[in-house]
Amino acid sequence: MIYYCGRVQGVGFRVTAAGLARRYGVQGWVRNLADGRVQLWVQGDDEGVEQFLSHLRQAMRGYIEGEESYAVADEAMEGFQIVT
């Protein structure tokens, strides 16, 4: 689980994440939180996840001010969703 802070809402973060997830073949979801952060849960093969996260950081570099990661148990997931 990853939490992003900064100016990460209203800038296309979730749409960018969803597009990159399809490109790298990872599964999971992304959602805005009431406190202004974005929460991301992603799973897939290690290389695909790392490439996805690297590309997401690069694409949103002007908006991300901080990132916190927490290990969570995997759950069966198909595709990638924007959660509202």
> Tens of pLDDT along 36-68?
999 999 999 999 999 999 999 999 999 999 999
Give SS3 for 81: strand
Mean model confidence pLDDT for the chain: 95
Are 27 and 20 in contact, with CB atoms under 8 Å apart? no
Q: What is the spatial distance between Cα 28 and Cα 10, in angstroms, rounded to a whole number?
A: 20
pLDDT at residue 18, rounded to an integer: 98
**What percent of the chain is predicted at pLDDT more than 70?**
100
Q: Give me the domain span that covers residue 11.
A: 2-83
The structural domain count of the chain equals 1
Give the pLDDT of residue 77.
Answer: 81
pLDDT at 74 over 80: no
Structure tokens given for 46: 């290690």
Residue corresponding to tokens 């992003």? 4
Catalytic residues: 14, 32
- Tell me, what CATH number does 27's domain have? 3.30.70.100
Higher pLDDT, 73 or 6: 6
